[in-house]
Amino acid sequence: MTSDFLLNLAQAVTKGLLTGMVYGLMALGLSVIFGVMRVVNFAHGEMMVVGMYLAWMGFEYLEVSPLLSLPLIAAIFFAVGYGLQRSLISPFIGRPEHQQFLLLLAVAILLVNACLAIAGPDSRGVQMESQFDSYELGPLVLDAVRLHAALAAVAIALLLWLFFSRTRTGKSIRAAADNHLAALVVGLDVRRLYAFTFGVGAACVGAAGALMITIIPVTPFLAAEYTLLAFVIVIVGGLGSMTGALMGGLLIGVSEAVAGLLVQPSLKSMFSFGLLILVLLLRPQGLFGKSNS
Amino acid sequence: MTSRKTFTRRHLGQTALAGATLIGAPLPLRYAAAQTAGNLKVALLLPTSGIQAQIGQACRRGGDVANEVFADMKMPVKLEIANYDTESKPDVARTQAEKAIDAGAQMLVGAFDSGQTIAIAQVAEQRGVPMVVNIAAAPQITEQGYKFIVRNFPTAPMLITGALALHKEIFKVSGKTPKTAVLMSINDTFGTAMVNGIKALFPKLDMPYEIVDTITYDPAAKDLSVEVGKAKATKAELLMPVSRLNDAKLLIQEMVKQRWEPMGVMNPGAPGLYEQDFFKTMGKYSDFLISNVPWLDPKSAMTQALEKRHAAKFPKDQLDINGGFTFEGLLVAAQAWLTAKSTKADALMDALRKTRIDQHVIIGGPIQFDAKGQNVNIKAAAVENLKRKPTVVLPLEAAAAPLVFPMPGWNDKRRT
């Protein structure tokens, strides 16, 4: 009885960790954009849904696996994100938050309706050969699709860390995020860096979308759910913290899986929000966030 | 200026020829002539988009060939069918019902899902427009004293009683009986009605197995890995899913991934496992799953006519009970109109109450409604997926192939 329970628990934790890694990648984009530009991307979930649709279209019409179309989708998202920041978001930096909120809400509504107009309201999923596969690791059974998605998410997060810690552009972005005025004084092109950051954030979301479509089917109405989920993750992890976003993703993934096992699966979201309330009460800056004071 | 018209011998000859032609015309032409003016306007409300889109579209295909089948069956009737999409949402269903009535619909037919049907039934009752329920099992639809609603589909308790009786027969025929079962159900109106019904009826039906856990989930769930993990942990020998199409696909997909191979997957009277899209998506993993549901009677002449028309119009699509029950819903509407000879609501309702249709498509006795507006003559069949086709395996007198139980493993050679 006890060993059975422990095995089931280990199985749930493993599954939660794998899903949490993709969640983490999704939230990473939101966290990067806020950490550098102090702009909260309320169109985050919608961007992810667009990424899912692009991957679905690649699979459906060109028979390209989402894992293979991922780099192209990330590149498209980077370019669009860069352009969007330069043309639309840049004038709103430094303006009151409610103006930023309304702008990005408008972008979100446009994206959802564009998806609805192009792909319709029906659920769209990819049916790959690996969809039914799993790997055995001792007594644990690992879902192949989830494992591939999680490994890809970890690889992308690692690339992002290398970019921010080893490249000149990455270091400049961090400098601009730490001290905007000083960055201007030393001659950094902060406007370009902000656009670059938004592009990187968007590329993360696009990549997360390409991975997520291998796990679940997409509908346009999924967007709001993912915006909310990304916010829960980054608030729990700490808004603006990359480590926080990744850890928050893992924490939410595991808490949902374990709650589903121990209580009732239909109540699993309640635990994510319970965790959010707890963090807001005890550590408002998030688990890995910096306190304002 | 005046004109003089005279009735000449030539005119008499022409008139006589026209009359003789009409009287002597082949029967189909006469039925076609009868199918023209003053037809009944029927609004067919179905979830043709959204989460239940595939099933809604399967229902609609049954409606799309209805008039042609009526003509084949020499019924002097042609319905004016207007299609409305409920988008799989009760609030939209309500709005669409109001829109249909405003547009002149004299009868409503629909709406596959219990929640949406209840929303439409409230509008039908308020506006005094008769409604024929094609598919919806929540008992309250015919338990609330509605005057304008009839249902040609079993209630949840009827579905459960029929399905669980078939479970026992399956065990008897196969000689294998599971000792434990886990019930997995969607938590919408239909699912809740089914779970409550099973809990209430189970002790009275003397079932040979014990339900060790009940796991409910959102019908719009995108991932059922946690739910299946929990079900697997119970080590139950039988899975009883109360599903729709999308969640049924997720459920079986997760079972394969998590390598959970119970003795069988047998639903207690629910859709999901026999739909065309299920076979298309699940491939070899769709075989040997059993649905205990009302089914099309292959021996009925009307079923044969429906299958023929359906195959001609939708060669790539499979006719199932979604199309069958929707066709029957329209058949009930057509028969009521023929009996009433009027499009007035009261006359149509009187005709609906007196309905007796012996020739129809679903297995069971004649279509008749009791005082509550419920058809109690529908029977269930055990339908097993064999070679990617839903096949009747029980009752034995209607069986098209022998039963396979217990279910072969996911990688068994019999799955090809």
Whole-complex ipTM: 0.70
Closest by CA to B167, choosing from B382, B390, B379, B362, is B382
Nearest-by-CA chain A residue for B284: A132
Q: Which residue has the higher pLDDT, A181 or A52?
A: A52
The shortest C-alpha distance from B381 to chain A (Å) reads 30
pLDDT reading at B252 higher than 90: yes
Which of B53, B187, B223 is closest, CB to CB, to A215? B223
CB atoms A266 and B222 under 8 Å: no
Residue B152 tokens read as 């040609």
Q: At what angle do helices B53-64 and B301-313 cross, to 10 degrees?
A: 110
Chain A positions touching chain B (beta carbons under 8 Å): 4-5, 8, 11-12, 15, 19, 120-123, 127, 131-134, 141, 143-144, 146, 215-217, 219, 222, 256-257, 260-261, 264-266, 268
Q: How far apart are CA A2 and CA B246, in angstroms?
A: 34
In contact, A175 and A183? CB cutoff 8 Å: yes
Closest-approach residue (CA) in chain A for B258: A141
d(CA A61, nearest CA chain B) in Å: 17
Enter the tokens of residue A75: 């590149």
Contact A15 B229 (CB under 8 A): yes
Nearest to A30, CA basis, from A191, A290, A227 = A227
Residue A222 is predicted with a pLDDT of: 85
Nearest residue of B to residue A265, measured between CA atoms: B227
CATH of domain B157-293+381-398: 3.40.50.2300
* pLDDT score for B229: 87
Cβ-defined contact of B258 to A134 (cutoff 8 Å): yes
- As its CATH architecture, domain B41-154+298-353 has 3-Layer(aba) Sandwich (3.40)
Using an 8 Å CB-CB cutoff, list chain A residues near B223: 19, 215-216
- Closest-CA distance, A186 to chain B, in angstroms, reads 49
Q: Which of residues 51-70 of B touch A (CB under 8 A)?
A: 51, 53-54
Cβ partners under 8 Å of residue A213, min gap 6: A51, A52, A55, A56, A59, A66, A125, A126
In tens, the pLDDT along B85-98 reads 998 899 999 999 99
For B208-253, give the DSSP string.
SSEEEEEEEE-TT-S--HHHHHHHHHTT-SEEEEE--HHHHHHHHH
Answer yes or no: do A121 and B53 touch at CB < 8 A: yes
- pLDDT(B4) > 50: no
Residues of B with Cβ-Cβ distance to A1 under 8 angstroms: none
Residue carrying the six token digits 């029929």 = B162
H or E segment and range at residue B187: none
pLDDT score recorded for residue B12: 52
B159 burial (CB, 10 Å; 0-12 / 13-18 / 19+) is: buried
Structure tokens at B59: 């229902």
Q: For an interface test with A, which of B225, B227, B254 has the most A Cβ atoms less than 10 Å from its Cβ?
A: B225
Does the structure show a pLDDT above 70 at B14?
Answer: no
Q: Which residues of A touch B246 (CB under 8 A)?
A: 123, 217
pLDDT in tens, A21-34: 988 888 888 888 88
- Alpha carbons B119 and B123: distance in angstroms, whole number: 7
The strand pair at B290-293 and B381-386 is best described as antiparallel
Average pLDDT, chain A: 88
Give the closest of B54, B87, B226 to A12, CB-based: B226
Whether A122 sits inside 8 A of B50 (CB atoms) is yes
Q: Return all residues near A40 (Cβ < 8 A) that are at least 6 apart.
A: A30, A34, A97, A100, A101, A104
**Cis preceding-peptide flag for A284 (omega within 30 of 0):** no
pLDDT of A114-156, one tens digit each?
998 888 777 788 878 788 888 888 888 888 888 998 999 999 9
Answer yes or no: do B226 and A261 touch at CB < 8 A.
yes
Helix (H) or strand (E) holding B109: strand B107-110
Domain boundaries in chain B?
41-154+298-353, 157-293+381-398
CA neighbours closer than 13 Å in the CB half-sphere of residue A241: 21
The pair of three-digit structure tokens given for residue B161, joined into one six-digit string: 């009683």
Over the stretch B202-227, which tens digit does the pLDDT of each residue have?
Answer: 888 899 999 999 999 888 777 888 88
Tell me the helices (H) and strands (E) count for chain A, helix number first. 11, 2
* Residue B50 region by backbone torsions, left for phi larger than 0, else alpha for psi between -120 and 50, else beta: left
Does the beta carbon of B411 lie under 8 angstroms from any beta carbon of chain A?
Answer: no
Per-residue pLDDT at A57: 94
d(CA A231, CA A48): 13
Q: In chain B, what residues touch A143 (CB-CB under 8 Å)?
A: 225, 257-258
Provide the whole-model pTM. Answer: 0.73
Q: In the structure, how many helices (H) and strands (E) does chain B have?
A: 14, 12
pLDDT for residue B21: 52
Residue A287 has pLDDT above 80, yes or no: yes
B17/A130: higher pLDDT: A130
Give the span between the Cα atoms of B61 and B376, in whole angstroms.
25
pLDDT for position B135: 94
Contact of B173 with chain A, judged by CB distance below 8 Å, is answered with no
pLDDT tens per residue across span B265-302: 999 888 889 888 889 888 899 999 999 989 988 888 99
Q: Kindly give, in sequence order, each residue whose CB lies less than 8 Å from that of residue B80, ignoring residues fewer than 6 positions away.
A: B39, B40, B41, B42
**Percentage, residues of chain A above pLDDT 90:** 39
Residues of B in contact with A5 (CB under 8 A): 233
pLDDT for residue B19: 52
CA distance B159 to B146: 22
Asked whether the domain spanning B157-293+381-398 has the same topology as the one spanning B41-154+298-353, the reply is: yes
Of A5, A261, A266, the CB nearest to B217: A266
Q: Which residues contact A194 (CB under 8 A, 6 or more apart)?
A: A36, A37, A85, A90, A93, A176
Cβ of A141 within 8 Å of Cβ of B222? The answer is no
Number of CB pairs, chain A paired with chain B, less than 8 A apart:
77
**Per-residue pLDDT band at B144 (split at 50, 70, 90):** confident
Whether B285 and chain A come into contact, CB under 8 Å, resolves to yes
Q: Say which residues have a Cβ less than 8 Å from residue A221's Cβ, sequence separation at least 6.
A: A112, A121
For the segment A70-76, the average pLDDT, to the nearest whole number, is 95
Nearest CA in chain B to A143: B257
Measured between beta carbons, the chain B residues lying within 8 angstroms of A123 are 51, 53, 246
Per-chain mean pLDDT for chain B: 88
Residue to test with chain A: of B222, B244, B252, B278, most A Cβ within 10 A: B222
Chain A CB contacts of B285 below 8 Å: 132
Residue in B51, B87, B227 nearest the CB of A123: B51
Q: H or E stretch including B165?
A: helix B156-174
> The dihedral of CA B397, B401, B402, B404: what is its sign?
negative
**Residue B69 CB neighbour total at 10 angstroms:** 23
Residues of B in contact with A19 (CB under 8 A): 223
Question: How far, rounded to the nearest angstrom, does the alpha carbon of residue B216 sit from its chain's CA centroid?
Answer: 24
Q: How many CA atoms lie within 13 A of B216 on its CB side?
A: 13
